[in-house]
Amino acid sequence: MSRRTGKSQAAFERAQAVLVGGVNSPVRAFAAVGGQPAVIAEARGAYVTDLDGNRYIDYVGGYGPAILGHAHPAVVQAITEAVGRGTCPGAPTEAETHLAELICAAFPSVTKLRMTSSGTEAVMSAVRLARGATGRRRIVKCIGCYHGHADALLVSAGSGAAALAAASSAGVPPAAVADTLVVPYNDLGAMERAFDQFAGEIAAVLVEPVAANMGVVPPAAGYLAGLRGLCDRHGALLIFDEVITGFRIARGGAQELYGVRADITAFGKIIGGGLPAGAFGASGEIMAHLAPEGPVYQAGTLSGNPAVTAAGLATLKALQADGFYHRLEQTSGDLERGLRQAAAAAGLEGQVCLNRVGSLLCCFFAPPPVVDFATASAGDAGAFAAYFQAMLEAGIFLAPSPFEAMFVSAAHARAEVQRTVEAAAGAFQRAGRLMESSGRCR
Ligand SMILES: *Cc1c(COP(=O)(O)O)cnc(C)c1O
């Protein structure tokens, strides 16, 4: 309505000529919601500002890293100082050890670590390590969990034999996914059947302990402990992909929150403080299979890069402030309650499902409960698009997909939550009118 878009539109048109779809990662495109992305000039604290000067309260959070808010002064300073000392020594630095010590201290299951430059690499390498350590080939993943874009993990449920996966991307040959099994999230029975069917062949179960790439779907009571038990019984390793949840839902991630230990943990996002980073870690015994100590090869020219390491260290240190996670939980809880009331006031009780774990939130335009990919996919895409556009107009920046989380940061305060809830009141009404006219409301 009043939002100016001329400069963003011109910049995005120019981008489309030289970048595929105008973006460097497909999640940033507006394919699911229509229209064009705002092109961002600056991100600071809880806000992003676009080229036209529109300022939004940000819940994209860089898709996870920005737990302190954007351009946090301590992180900016740490990066600036590190850059001045050279960003690519090609030899060990002390800061790498300091960062690894902080991560190991937060995750008791992790005594040794290897840094990478992305979450994709971390998970891909964790899978290779699990295969090398067990001498087995097959891995099981859950439908709707995202683990980066490595070939073997770009799969969906195949047809035919239970649990056998099909490639979900063009360019992935059948052989690359032949050893990947898929089962629904939160379905221990399906996981048990996969173990029975492929007895002695499964190297690892790979899971997002809180699924946060199909919206936000918490683990059912006992699910993670059940996975732990199955892996132990069958001699398989349990890999938690904590790329989003690590240092997000608790300092010690899902392992702290739910009291279940993984064998191998993958990290990313927050540990890089907004610069490109990932890591995977496990016990010294498992990690001893990794080069240079063991035969599982893994490497990276920019792994443990000083600028990245400095940003990660500054971020993890800021998270050690007294009561940090308690405050984040309070803000996130306030936001959840406000959104719930706004949805109810718009007559959408029973039509939308709000899921939250800590500072990860999601509003599905689907009847509750949303417990897996099937129930998440039952959402009304048109209603989400209407909600998204109304929020954007009102100055609230959400990820342009119903399958992304809202990320709350420490920079979000009472005022931001209040403005978000006020905007949501109108946005839910707009979405509700659409659902009514399409006959989805009962
Ligand atoms: C983002 C993400 C990845 C991939 O990390 P990149 O840094 O984008 O390669 C892997 N697993 C999960 C759970 C993620 O959310």
Q: Is the pLDDT of residue 246 over 50?
A: yes
pLDDT score of 157 = 83
Taking domain 6-63+323-437, whether its CATH number is 3.40.50.300 is answered by no
Tokens of 208: 């997002």
From 216, 244, 267, give the residue whose CB has the most ligand 1 atoms within 8 Å, as the site to mutate.
Answer: 244
Tokens of 179: 């050893």
pLDDT score of 375 = 97
Gap between the Cα atoms of 348 and 352, Å rounded: 6
For residues 66-86, average pLDDT: 98
Is residue 143 within 8 Å of residue 373, measured between CB atoms? yes
Query: Residue ranges per domain, the chain?
Result: 6-63+323-437, 73-318
pLDDT score of 441 = 52
Q: What percent of the chain has pLDDT above 90?
A: 95
Atom nearest to 278 CA in ligand 1: 7
Largest CA distance in the chain: 64
- Measured from the Cβ of residue 431, the count of other Cβ atoms closer than 10 Å reads 29
Is residue 270 within 8 Å of residue 247, measured between CB atoms? yes
Residues 6+ apart with CB under 8 A from 328: 67, 358, 359, 408, 409, 410
pLDDT score of 213 = 97
Q: End-to-end CA distance of the chain: give it in Å, rounded.
A: 31
Q: What is the pTM of this model?
A: 0.97
* CA-nearest residue, atom 14 of ligand 1: 243
Tokens of 141: 């993943």
For residues 44-67, average pLDDT: 98
Dump pLDDT digits (tens) for 321-355: 999 999 999 999 999 999 999 999 999 999 999 99
Gap between the Cα atoms of 200 and 210, Å rounded: 27
* CA-nearest residue, atom 15 of ligand 1: 244
Gap between the Cα atoms of 339 and 24, Å rounded: 31
For residues 357-382, average pLDDT: 97
pLDDT score of 442 = 47
Q: Is the pLDDT of residue 359 over 60?
A: yes
Dump pLDDT digits (tens) for 115-131: 999 999 999 999 999 99
Distance 178 CA to ligand 1 centre (A): 22
Band (163; pLDDT cuts 50, 70, 90): confident
Q: CA–CA distance from 275 to each of 61, 70, 119, 279 (Å)?
A: 13, 12, 12, 13
For residues 233-251, average pLDDT: 98
Dump pLDDT digits (tens) for 295-306: 999 999 999 999
Distance 147 CA to ligand 1 centre (A): 6
What residues line ligand 1, using a CB cutoff of 6 Å? 118-120, 123, 146-148, 208, 213, 241, 243-244, 268, 278
pLDDT score of 436 = 87
Q: Identify which has the larger pLDDT, 72 or 160.
A: 72
Is residue 278 within 8 Å of residue 266, measured between CB atoms? yes
Residues 6+ apart with CB under 8 A from 319: 67, 68, 247, 251, 270, 325
Dump pLDDT digits (tens) for 391-427: 999 999 999 999 999 999 999 999 999 999 999 999 9
Please, what CATH class does the domain formed by 73-318 belong to?
alpha beta
Average pLDDT in the chain: 96
pLDDT score of 357 = 98
